[in-house]
Homo-oligomer: A and B are copies of this chain.
Amino acid sequence: MTHSTAGGRTRGAKADAAQGKRARLTAAAAQVLHEQGVEKTTLADIARAADVPVGNVYYYFKTKDDLVEAAIGTHGDTLRAVLATLDELPEPRDRLKHLVRGWVDQRDLAARYGCPTGTLASELDKRADGLDEKLAVHLRALVDWVAHQFRAMGHRRDARELAVALVAAYQGISLLTNTFRDPDLMAAEGRRLQRWLDTL
């Protein structure tokens, strides 16, 4: 993560290009790693998707793990942005229902490649490096946010348990939706969760 050299001299063109390539590599990594999995994805795959020469990747990222870590970072950014939008809704119940709706809206992607965060978490767990913990932080932030909503709905004692259950329901249905290649499974489970939220 380079510090923003605000008002730096005329390093404009080159630095912008560098920023552009770095950003492109990060975005490409997030997408390709989701579609192909971490282990099956080569640096050449990511470089090709980002339209950057293979050997040049190492100027921006020292190792493949650094690239994976960057992808994890974008997951965190995306999550934060989603939650910030949901926070604008006045009712905590509506926030949760819109969260579920967002999941259902992505059911086709889940059917093809699974939940971006979930499949990545599953893979990172098998690796020796501590990258899995970096992703766990973001997943934990989601659970915390959901628990906060349940608490605001009056569930003092079991808010966290309900939060875990809701996120788990999504992760589980993502896996089944993916395994059976059937987006309708996600849609049906979404409706069930909506009804469930209405009863709480």
Closest residue of B by beta carbon distance from A177: B168
Decide: A192 near B169, CB < 8 A? Known: A114-B122, A126-B37, A126-B40. no
- CA–CA, A40 to B128, complex, Å? 10
Verify A164–B178 contact, CB threshold 8 A.
no
- Please measure, in the bound complex, the distance between the C-alpha atom of A165 and the C-alpha atom of B173, giving whole angstroms: 7
**Is A153 on the interface with B (CB-CB < 8 A)?**
no
Say yes or no for A62: interface residue by CB 8 A criterion: no
Contacts of A136 in B (CB 8 A): 179-180
Selected from B113, B135, B172, the residue in CB contact (under 8 A) with A172 is B172
Q: Is the CB of A175 within 8 A of B168?
A: yes
* Contacts A140-B180, A185-B164, A192-B165 given; does A175 touch B37 at CB 8 Å: no
Closest residue of chain B to A176 (Cβ to Cβ) is: B168
Complex-state Cα separation, A122 to B188, whole angstroms? 21
Q: CB-nearest residue of chain B relative to A166?
A: B172
Contacts of A39 in B (CB 8 A): 37, 39-40
- Copy number in the complex reads 2
Q: Kindly supply a per-residue 1/0 record for chain A positions 32-58, scoring 1 wherever the CB is within 8 Å of any chain B CB and 0 otherwise.
A: 000111011000000000000000000
Contacts known (A136-B180, A164-B188); A175 close to B40, Cβ less than 8 A: no
A127 on the B face (CB < 8 A)? yes
Query: Would A165 and B169 be within 8 Å (CB), given that A37-B126, A40-B39, A123-B37 are in contact?
Result: yes
Q: Give Cα A17 to B123, complex, Å.
A: 36
- How far, in whole Å, are A139 and B168 apart by their CA atoms in the complex? 18
A65 contacts B by Cβ under 8 Å? no
Binding site for B on A (CB under 8 A): 35-37, 39-40, 113-114, 118-119, 121-123, 125-127, 132, 135-136, 139-140, 143, 161, 164-165, 167-176, 178-180, 185, 188-189, 192
8 pairs of residues in contact across A and B, judged by CB atoms under 8 Å: A119-B122, A121-B179, A123-B123, A125-B178, A136-B180, A140-B180, A168-B173, A169-B169
